[in-house]
Structure 1
Amino acid sequence: MTAVTPVNRLIVQGIDLYYEHYRNPGKQTLVCIHGFLSSAFSFRKLIPLLRDHYEIIAVDLPPFGQSEKSQTFLYTYSNLARLIIGLLEQLQIKEAALVGHSMGGQISLSAALQKPELFTKVVLLCSSGYLQRSHPTITFGTHLPYFHLYVKRWLSKSGVLKNLHNVVYDKSLIDDEMIDGYGKPFTDGQIFKAMTRLIRHREGDLPSEALKKMEKPALLIWGNEDRVVPVEIGKRLHQDLPDSVLYSLEKTGHLVPEERPEFVSEQILEFVR
């Protein structure tokens, strides 16, 4: 029997936020935060391995997945982190561990720095790191009336299948369910205007000085064949984060929650415990 996904929506700081809430009263809470061009769907293999041990919340960050594609929201990492904090406050969750993949790793770090009393530990799965803000020329271009059509054309040209080939090492993992799951959110045309705002507003990743102030234990898991965020970024984060451990996996690409869910879940169980 196929498990039913527990779909929930809340208005958080004026944004209609989609999230999945796997309730497990009395257990520690894990908050799963996806990466760029992704959604809570990217944790579909990890959640079943963890849901008996934790209460799990997997969020669709706006403008991705099924969350609102607002044309007024300021899409900075710090604001997205505040959405996560606001969601947990509305749900009256007092303490949680963060699990962030790719861009979600930076948002997890930002949330932990903004409200350290709310978060216990941070798990970074091929987290982005040290990425600078978009070049001023690109930022200026986002103000042009039809820039969103350029974004749409760029994504259409690369296509879901090509993007998936870029983020996994074992191409045999890519099936119709995966293609549909990662491609479906982009059938809503409003996402391209919202992504234009994200490109415009996104600040650079946290600098070394900020990372070195992180007091929370951090677990880093990387794919050695990651072509999106190379393992060298993971090694640098490991050096900057005062209390961290790094695992790098052979024959694994960027999409570690999909490619190595068993290993990732085992390490999370050991680390969060």
Structure 2
Amino acid sequence: MKKIILIVFVTLTINGAFAQTENLQWLDIELSNYEYPYSVATLSLKIQEQDLKMAYMDVKPTNYNGKNIVLFHGKNFNGAYWKTTIEALTNEGFRVIVPDQIGFGKSSKPQHFHYTFQQLAQNTKTLLDTLKVEKTAVLGHSMGGMLATRFALMYPDITEKLILENPIGLEDWKLKVPYKPVEWWYKNELKKSYEGIKKYQLVNYYDNKWKPEYDQWVNLLAGWTLNSDYKTIAWNNALTYDMIFTQPVVYEFKNIQVPTLLIIGTRDRTALGKPLVTEDVRKTMGLYGELGKKTQKAIPDSELVEIENVGHLPHIEKFESFIKPLIKFLEK
């Protein structure tokens, strides 16, 4: 009887995994077969002896209020997940510029690239110069929060306001997590699958509470694993993990010169390298209920909005609680 139950369980599991893979869309390395919510343009960049393309959305409202905002995506995402945010901000009259950073989304995936937050910030500045945008607010989510911080530090005269939505990098993981070389991250990326990606997001982003609308963000990553060029994507992912781990911004929060808003879902427990430490150490990492308050004290002229019972993606999980304080802050 036990053998029969086990066989049925294994069969159902295999069939379920097969069905998920069957329904999964193969995605081009630059997502040419995936439609973004707004029209996409590209900026040609000559950097690190390479000709690269930076994709971006530039959404101009009919009721333009003279204010601009740049949205920086997180590591496991691209500009498409800002759809509802773009819509709400343009309705209020803001021009919204949403780049896919090099290595992400519809932008180039180089075979070799030295990733730094400074380089990505400079690429974004080049985009703004091309668009003749002289002043802007910047909003960064997750890894994008680290990049937005670096941008504000490098270009304080351009940056009118800084908004950080559940940014990573509020703590220095190097103090707790042993260093792993790029090759280690690369091997992990090559193991990625639909099931593994969904499990990570379920546990780390949504507190084991899944909604059907979250599937699209799993499919965007998992669809790439079906691509014969996935090794290139995996290599870029590994390089950006190394960038995040080795280039903390936490020590420079005190140097930020622009008004700053922190929007923090306090249920978030995101932290890099958790599988590499003991359970006791793991429990001390990614405590956003504490990290938000600590960061607000570190950044001069900053405000903190905490959203209870929300995880890593407030603008996806609880949009109204995210957008209201954002618009209020931008309109000050």
Distance 1:196 1:4 in 2: 28
Q: CA deviation at 1:96?
A: 0.6
Q: CA deviation at 1:133?
A: 5.2
Is contact 2:72-2:140 (8 Å) kept?
Answer: yes
Aligned residue for 1:193, secondary structure, equals helix
Distance 2:97 2:224 in 1: 19
Please list the CA deviations of residues 180-212 of structure 1 after superposition, one character each: whole Å capped at 9, or x if unmatched.
Answer: 24544555512111123223444331133x211
Q: What is the TM-score normalised by the length of structure 1? A: 0.87
> 1:89 aligns to what?
129
Is contact 2:263-2:305 (8 Å) kept?
Answer: yes
Q: CA deviation at 1:38?
A: 1.3
Q: Spell out the pairing of 1:1-273 with structure 2 (5 A cutoff).
A: 5-14=38-47, 15-24=52-61, 25-53=64-92, 54-128=94-168, 129-132=170-173, 137-139=179-181, 142=182, 148-153=186-191, 155-156=192-193, 159-165=196-202, 166-169=204-207, 171-175=209-213, 176-185=215-224, 187-188=226-227, 189=230, 190-202=232-244, 203-208=246-251, 210-228=252-270, 229-231=286-288, 232-273=290-331
Count, aligned residues: 266
Change (3 A) 1:200 1:102: closer
Change (3 A) 1:137 1:49: closer
Distance 2:112 2:250 in 1: 27
Q: Where do 4+ consecutive residues of structure 1 move more than 6 Å?
A: none
Does 1 or 2 have the higher relative contact order (CA < 8 Å, sep 6+)? 1
In structure 2, give the amino acid aligned to 1:218: T
In structure 1, give the amino acid aligned to 2:142: S
Distance 2:225 2:240 in 1: 15
Unaligned runs of 5+ in 1: none
Please list the CA deviations of residues 104-156 of structure 1 after superposition, one character each: whole Å capped at 9, or x if unmatched.
Answer: 111101001101111100010001122345977512xx258xx6344221x33
Distance 1:47 1:247 in 2: 20
Distance 2:207 2:188 in 1: 29
Change (3 A) 1:156 1:3: closer
Please list the CA deviations of residues 154-191 of structure 1 after superposition, one character each: whole Å capped at 9, or x if unmatched.
Answer: x3386231122121247243434343245445555121
Distance 1:240 1:170 in 2: 32
Aligned residue for 1:9, secondary structure, equals strand
- 34-43 or 183-192, which deviates more: 183-192
Distance 2:120 2:240 in 1: 11
Distance 1:158 1:138 in 2: 24
Q: What percent identity do the matched residue pairs reach?
A: 24
Change (3 A) 1:87 1:162: same
Please list the CA deviations of residues 53-106 of structure 1 after superposition, one character each: whole Å capped at 9, or x if unmatched.
Answer: 211011212212111111232111121111111111111100110010011111
